[in-house]
Amino acid sequence: MSTPSLTFTVPLSWEAHSLAQHYRTQQTTVPKAKQAYLNSLAVYAGDFYLRCLGYFPDPSASDSRNSINLHFLDVADLVVPSLGKLECRPVLPEMDVLEIPSEVRDDRIAYLAIQFTQSLKQAEILGFTSKSLAQIPLSSLRSLESFPDYLSALRQSIAADQLTPFHPASMVELSQWLEGVASAGWQALDTLLPGHSLVAVRSQAGQQESPCNPPQPFSNQVQKAKLIDLGLQLGDRTIMLVLTLAPSSNQTVSALVQAYPVHDPHLPAQLQLKMLAESGEVLQEVWSRGQDNFIQLKQFSGQRGDRFRLQIVLDEICITENFVF
């Protein structure tokens, strides 16, 4: 017997129910009113679950949150930006199947089965499925244990599809930097932020050393920086991406990639810096925890013509820069 399936429980109180009531009272018949109420609670529970995991679903963009849709369609979708629509289906206490109405069998990334208690004061997310069949036995649902991986794989495949192809216009040619030629947006630190000193350097052990500027490039090194705007909603979220290149022997060039905050002393928490192969495969990644003065990737090297991508990710913002050595 395998380990019991991982589920997730959501207590439901006034916030959940008043919202459900709003959708219920727009309907004219008892069955439709009931469906609208349950669907609303289910979407609410799904939204709560995803937010606990660190996602930022957008219920307001969902069809299920538009009453006009509910007059025609038994829909309980939840938009997860950058991923798609997750259908949150209610399951009644005595049921042993998940029912998926025909109107929602298309255009969904997955279906969550959300079972309610008789009082409707508690919802339990039993599991998920990616199969869009009319009925799925609850025993066939996949455990929530695998749901984060499922979404992660989906995100990677979507990101890979959306990566711009490497054409010359979108690529930064690092060989040119070594020859003294500038790339748009990339400048020497002093030019980019004159007189600005970047704060403390973090040592290997994670302890904070006394404040000093980032390591000055040696004479044969080239260092350039670019300001990256992560969006205005959270206040100033400008960070600076710093790339330091050093030619080594046998025609390889090593690169050090760092990210620094600009106006705050610390980087925003959960900022990710990733390095990807041309294919989209993540080769390395590092993230900030909220107290970091900077983060950096492990030094890597390449030969002329080798391509890679850097991504800076914060919440749903994902900025990609393409490079060729």
Partner 1 sequence: MVNQDFMGDEQLRQLALNVQNAPPQSAERQRNLNYLVNNILHSGKLGHPHTGKYPQGIYQDLYNEALQKTLLKICTKIDQYNPVHPVMAWVNFVLSKTFIDVEKDVQRRGITYLPQALKNDMTILSLDDLNSPVSDLHPSTEVEKLRQFLKEDPEGRLQEEHLQNHTDITFQKIALAKYVDDLTWDSLSEQFKIPLPTLHSFFNRRLQKLMPYFHKYL
Q: Compute how many residues bind partner 1; rule: CB under 8 A.
A: 67
Would you give the DSSP letter of residue 28?
S
Least Cβ distance, residue 91 to partner 1 (angstroms): 12
Select from 131, 290, 298, 303 the one that contacts partner 1 (CB under 8 A): 290
What is the distance between the alpha carbons of residues 14 and 36, in angstroms, rounded to a whole number?
A: 16
**Nearer to partner 1 by C-beta: 144 or 189?**
144
Q: Is 177 in the site for partner 1 (CB under 8 A)?
A: no
Q: Is 30 in the site for partner 1 (CB under 8 A)?
A: yes
Query: Terminus-to-terminus CA distance in the chain, angstroms?
Result: 53
Least Cβ distance, residue 192 to partner 1 (angstroms): 28
What is the distance between the alpha carbons of residues 300 and 273, in angstroms, rounded to a whole number?
A: 14
**Nearer to partner 1 by C-beta: 191 or 284?**
284
Alpha-carbon separation of residue 289 from 13, 214, 292, 315, 316 (angstroms): 33, 19, 6, 14, 17
User: For partner 1, which stretch binds (CB under 8 A), given 17-25, 188-196, 230-238, 251-259?
Assistant: 17-25
The helix or strand, by DSSP H or E, that contains position 38, with its residue range, turns out to be helix 30-53
Q: Is 151 in the site for partner 1 (CB under 8 A)?
A: yes
What string marks each residue from 39 to 78 as x (binds partner 1 by CB under 8 A) or -?
---------x--xxxx--------x--x-xx-xxx-----
CB of 42 closer than 8 Å to CB of 89: yes
What string marks each residue from 99 to 138 as x (binds partner 1 by CB under 8 A) or -?
--xxx-xx---------x-xxxxx----------------
What string marks each residue from 253 to 272 as x (binds partner 1 by CB under 8 A) or -?
----------------xx-x
| 152 Cβ contact list (under 8 Å, min separation 6) | none
3-state helix vs strand vs coil in the chain, percent to 5:
25, 35, 40
Least Cβ distance, residue 184 to partner 1 (angstroms): 30
Alpha-carbon separation of residue 142 from 54, 134, 230 (angstroms): 21, 17, 35
Phi, psi of 239 (to 5 degrees): -125, 165
Handedness of CA 254, 281, 272, 143 (dihedral sign): negative
Least Cβ distance, residue 276 to partner 1 (angstroms): 15
Enumerate binding residues for partner 1 (CB under 8 A): 3-4, 6-15, 17-18, 20-21, 24-30, 33-34, 37-38, 48, 51-54, 63, 66, 68-69, 71-73, 92-93, 101-103, 105-106, 116, 118-122, 144-145, 147-149, 151-152, 269-270, 272, 285, 287, 289-290, 313
